């Protein structure tokens, strides 16, 4: 029997076609903004994998270290049969979790969810080969689509995990409604494992998002290339410059593309012409940095009770295991 590696969630492609609306809105307002989802076309997803290996970008390494220390304990506590990962990317860290479950069970289902089809398919095929006794199947779609899908396809007890501090890319309101949706989707007794980047000195944070090899700069600028191919645009990438700064009032990294010349850009498929002026910028991402105890309280308010949380020696990154 041939097992398909992926399910394309309903309306995924349609959503991507329609979502130009948010580009029109973001580029028509002052200051201009773009959704961070435009980082992740196939090239952007590859660049993000490179970011994860940069010496300055500590979150991936530290979270992997915490998982290495505690994945066995997590598997022992939860003993779940269905593991679901939101925003799985290449699923590299996930293997630490799958290895831990392999020690305690013969069968497990793993569902990685991502918006980037190429990286999702490659990682599912690799994992199917590596874990032949596990059922591994990718879901191609956004977090929202995936949570709706999961809500109506309940098979067995679940652990949903959301690693890499991707929660930090939502603003406070988006974070709140995302956690509401998670809590509504899970059933009583299910688990939620969350990785969050914690507050730390500005110089460490700014170095992590302005790396010396300029991979993060390429990642940020790739948003414009993505808009060019998706919406028949004519952004000239050489007229923009990457910058990431830490906003100490809101405890968040902010990524910008600064425009260095007055010019017009058109996005044909959106029927949009935008004036960019020298010195103005587009905000492409926020990456919020959390306080562990405050986050636990916020989760608790959503009905996600912390069973245990772990951190590294410096307290730079936190991993929280909650139960509904």
Give the nearest distance from C-beta 60 to ligand AVI in angstroms: 9
In Å, how far from its chain's centre is CA 51? 13
CA quadruple 102, 104, 107, 109: dihedral sign: negative
Distances (CA, A) of 162 to 53, 93, 166, 273, 322: 19, 11, 7, 37, 12
Give the largest Cα separation in the chain, rounded: 61
CA distance 89 to 278: 35
Interface pick for ligand AVI out of 45, 142, 145, 165 (rule CB under 6 A): 165
Candidate segments 8-16, 115-123, 164-172, 302-310, binder of ligand AVI by CB under 6 A: 164-172
**Distances in Å between the alpha carbon of 246 and those of 56, 61, 84, 111, 167?**
15, 21, 32, 34, 17
Applying CB under 6 A, does 168 fall inside the site for ligand AVI? yes
Q: How far apart are CA 293 and CA 309, in angstroms?
A: 10
Q: Residue 128 and residue 133: Cα distance in Å, rounded? A: 8
Choices 67-75, 131-139, 163-171, 185-193; region in contact with ligand AVI by CB under 6 A: 163-171
* DSSP collapsed to 3 states, 129-162: HHCCCCEECEEECCHHHHHHHHHCCCCCCEEEEE
Closer to ligand AVI by Cβ: residue 46 or 266 = 46
Q: Which residue is nearest to ligand AVI (CB)?
A: 287
| Rounded distance between C-alpha atoms, residue 223 and residue 226, angstroms | 5
Which one, 51 or 84, has the nearer CB to ligand AVI? 51
Minimum distance from residue 36 beta carbon to ligand AVI (Å): 7
Shortest Cβ 289–ligand AVI spacing (Å): 9
Nearer CB in complex with ligand AVI: 49/176: 49
116 lies in the binding site for ligand AVI (CB under 6 A): no
Residue of the chain from 41, 82, 114, 285 that contacts ligand AVI (CB under 6 A): 285
Question: Rounded to 10 degrees, what is the CA torsion of 224, 225, 230, 231?
Answer: 50
DSSP state of 4: P
Q: Does 199 bind ligand AVI (CB under 6 A)?
A: no
Q: Which of 169, 181, 185, 222 binds ligand AVI (CB under 6 A)?
A: 169
d(CA 306, CA 193): 9
Q: Which of 45, 166, 306, 323 binds ligand AVI (CB under 6 A)?
A: 166
Chain positions 210 to 249 lying near ligand AVI, rule: CB under 6 A, are 216
**Cβ contact 161:83 at 8 Å:** yes
Binding mask 37-76 for ligand AVI (x = CB under 6 A): --------------x-------x-----------------
Does 86 contact ligand AVI by CB under 6 A?
Answer: no
Minimum Å gap between C-beta 107 and ligand AVI is: 31
**209 makes contact with ligand AVI (CB under 6 A):** yes
Which residues make up the interface to ligand AVI (CB under 6 A)? 51, 59, 164-166, 168-169, 209, 216, 285, 287
């Amino acid at each position: 029997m041939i097992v398909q590696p992926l399910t394309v969630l309903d309306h995924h492609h349609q959503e991507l076609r329609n979502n130009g609306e948010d580009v029109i809105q973001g580029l028509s307002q002052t200051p201009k903004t773009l959704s961070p989802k435009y980082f992740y076309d196939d090239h952007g997803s590859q660049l993000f994998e490179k970011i994860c290996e940069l010496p300055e970008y500590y979150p991936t390494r530290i979270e992997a270290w915490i998982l290495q220390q505690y994945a066995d304990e997590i598997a022992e506590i939860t003993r779940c049969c269905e593991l679901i990962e939101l925003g799985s990317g290449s699923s590299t860290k996930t293997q630490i979790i799958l290895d831990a479950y392999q020690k305690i069970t013969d069968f497990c289902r793993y569902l990685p969810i991502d918006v980037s089809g190429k990286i999702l398919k490659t990682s599912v095929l690799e994992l199917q080969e590596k874990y032949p006794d596990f059922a591994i199947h990718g879901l191609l779609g956004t977090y929202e689509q995936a949570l709706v899908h999961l809500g109506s396809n309940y098979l067995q007890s679940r652990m949903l995990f959301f690693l890499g501090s991707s929660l930090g890319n939502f603003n406070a309101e988006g974070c709140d409604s995302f956690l509401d949706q998670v809590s509504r989707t899970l059933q009583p007794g299910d688990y939620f494992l969350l990785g969050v980047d914690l507050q730390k000195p500005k110089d460490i944070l700014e170095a992590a998002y302005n790396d010396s090899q300029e991979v993060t700069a390429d990642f940020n600028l790739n948003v414009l290339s993505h808009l060019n191919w998706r919406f028949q645009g004519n952004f000239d990438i050489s007229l923009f410059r990457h910058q990431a700064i830490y906003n100490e009032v809101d405890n968040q990294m902010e990524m910008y593309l600064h425009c260095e010349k007055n010019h017009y850009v058109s996005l044909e498929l959106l029927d949009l012409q935008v004036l960019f002026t020298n010195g103005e910028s587009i905000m492409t991402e926020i990456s919020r940095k959390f306080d562990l105890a405050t986050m636990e309280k916020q989760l608790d308010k959503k009905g996600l009770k912390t069973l245990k949380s772990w951190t590294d020696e410096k307290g730079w990154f936190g991993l929280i295991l909650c139960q509904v």
